[in-house]
Amino acid sequence: MVFNLKKDFPIFTSGELKDKVYLDSAATSQKPKIVIESLIDFYQNYNSNVHRGIYDIAEKASSKYEEARDKVAKFINAESLSEVIFTSGTTEGINFVVDAWARRKLSPGDEIIITQAEHHANLLPWQRLAKELNLTLKYIKLDLDDFTLKWDGLITSKTKIVSVSVCSNVLGPIWKNGINEIKALIEDAHKVGAKIVLDAAQSVPNAVIDVQMLGADFVAFSGHKMLGPTGVGVLYIKKDLHDQLEPYQVGGSMVYSAVFDKSIWKESPYKYEAGTTPIAEVIALGTAVDYLNKIDFKELAKFESYLCGKLIDGLEQIPEVEIFGNRDLIRDYGHLVSFVVKNIHAHDIAAHLNTNDICIRVGHHCAQPLHVLLGAEATARASFYLYNEEQDVDRLLKFLPEAIKYFKR
């Protein structure tokens, strides 16, 4: 089984990954040629600011920028273009919600619910806000037997925000019933009037998200994990909230009028995009979406989970290896596998694999509290995307035992 797409990615055909195995797409994906060309085209041919100038290239830049918004809106099935806000990434998207919504709407004693499996991007902003405003931060517990989350009884009338990852960057799938469980969580949160924030950094690139089907209030994701450039991301904000949600930042280009003692904001999305945004990156993200639109996401999920299953099969043959995550769910629809090798530091394993041209990620993956729960200071993670091949797994499984042998000497 193979998608055979490496040919579209210059880093694999002529760049430094030509003869290497890249298993770190959960950190950042590689970029197809058309995305790189889109960046070059902007700077080489029509570089200008957007929504300001009236000369030809400024009009062209503005219309390409808005085309990208349209592509992203269709990709996530947003009801309106006004719901798609360009940010610098998932981190900024969540900080946006924390500062512009939660900081203004929550009062001491109110509850925020997140999970024990969050990336720091969806933990630290809430932790800080809870301390500052005297809020209660509650955690949906991770069941360490099956690596899934259960929120039964946690949502109360005091719950004002529920903010969760759709897919963990360490464990992969964490919701037993997948997206249906996220939908049920959203419904439960809405029953008590709480708003729901989805950290979709790991899910949009591999499984997309239908925001209307889910009914989430806020959804944050990053362009660089879905074939787009760094420095750009998306915050989906449900239309119903626009009247109640103040801008996160204020400044250039987001007002209808400003006089010395007051200003009137534009409508969304413009009121939420103050200053000069990452224009080239937004346009190139639109190109990445064009590329992704040619991919059958059901086939992609099958392909990635097949590679995960093959890796798990191999890892299970190595007695020193302990795998984290729900293996059944990963075999079903995962795109990454995390593991440790007993008595050998994950960094040593990764360094040794690197000498054999294999790039994997090691560390706490910006999920330190989760690693404390797992009892691992660091884990090794292999993550897959549409350009990976079966041989990549074979190579990892060939050289991992060699690394273990080397460090056990």
Return the number of the residue (121 or 307) whose C-beta is nearest ligand PLP. Answer: 121
Asked if 366 is an active-site residue, the reply is yes
Rounded to a whole number of angstroms, the minimum distance from the CB of residue 29 to ligand PLP is 11
Catalytic residue among 167, 308, 359, 366: 366
- Token output for 124: 């630290």
Q: Closest by alpha carbon to 42, among 16, 60, 66, 20?
A: 60
- Token output for 178: 């997948």
Position 114, amino acid: I
The distance of Cα 173 from the centroid of its chain, to the nearest Å, equals: 13
Residues facing residue 144 across a β-bridge: none
Position 292, amino acid: L
Collapse the DSSP code of 15 into the 3-class scheme (helix H, G, I; strand E, B; otherwise coil) and give the result.
coil
Return the number of the residue (62 or 163) whose C-beta is nearest ligand PLP. Answer: 163
Q: How far apart are the C-alpha atoms of 342 and 116, rounded to whole Å?
A: 24
Position 241, amino acid: L
Rounded to a whole number of angstroms, the minimum distance from the CB of residue 281 to ligand PLP is 12
Q: How far apart are the C-alpha atoms of 86 and 99, rounded to whole Å?
A: 16
Q: Closest by alpha carbon to 308, among 382, 205, 396?
A: 382
Return the number of the residue (62 or 203) whose C-beta is nearest ligand PLP. Answer: 203
Return the number of the residue (238 or 365) whose C-beta is nearest ligand PLP. Answer: 365
Return the number of the residue (386 or 403) whose C-beta is nearest ligand PLP. Answer: 386
Rounded to a whole number of angstroms, the minimum distance from the CB of residue 92 to ligand PLP is 7
Per CB under 6 A, residues contacting ligand PLP are 89-91, 119, 121-122, 165, 169, 199, 201-202, 222
Q: How far apart are the C-alpha atoms of 331 and 314, rounded to whole Å?
A: 13
Which positions are catalytic? 366
